[in-house]
Amino acid sequence: MLLICCVICWNMFSQKKQIQYFLVSKNDTLIKTQLATKANQYEGYLIINEKKTIKKAIRPSNLAGKDILKDSFEEIYFSFNRNNDTIVGKSYYDKLNIIKTRREFLQINKQIDETRNEFIFIEPVDCEKFILRRVTPIIFE
Partner 1 sequence: MTEHICTAVQQGGESTIWTCEVTLNVTCNGGGGGDLPDGGDPGGGTGGNDDDDEDSNGGGGSTGGGSKGITTDPILGTCIETNTCEEDKIINELTGKADCVYQKMVNGNNSINWILENFEDTLTTSSEFDLILQMSNTLGSETNASTVRSGDTFTISINEYRAENINTALTIARTIIHEGIHARLREFASREGSDETSFPGVYDYFRIYAKNWDHQQMADHYRSTIAEGLKEYDNSQNSDSFYNALAWEGLAEIKDLNGDQDIIYTLAWSQLSPAQQQEILAIISTEKQNGDKNCQE
Contacting positions for partner 1 (CB under 8 A): 15, 17, 34, 40-42, 44, 54-55, 57, 59, 61, 63-67, 69, 74-77, 79, 109-115, 136-141
- Minimum Å gap between C-beta 124 and partner 1 is 24
- Minimum Å gap between C-beta 103 and partner 1 is 16
Distance from chain centroid for Cα 113: 10
Q: Which is nearer to partner 1, 19 or 57 (CB)?
A: 57
- Minimum Å gap between C-beta 23 and partner 1 is 21
Q: Which is nearer to partner 1, 17 or 90 (CB)?
A: 17
Q: Which is nearer to partner 1, 79 or 101 (CB)?
A: 79
* Distance from C-alpha of 120 to C-alpha of 23, rounded to nearest angstrom: 9
**What are the beta bridge partners of residue 119?**
20, 135
Per the CB < 8 A criterion, the answer to whether 24 and 122 are in contact is: yes
Q: Quick one: which of 50, 36, 19, 48 has its CA closest to 121? A: 19
- Minimum Å gap between C-beta 127 and partner 1 is 31
CA atoms within 13 A on the CB side of 39: 0
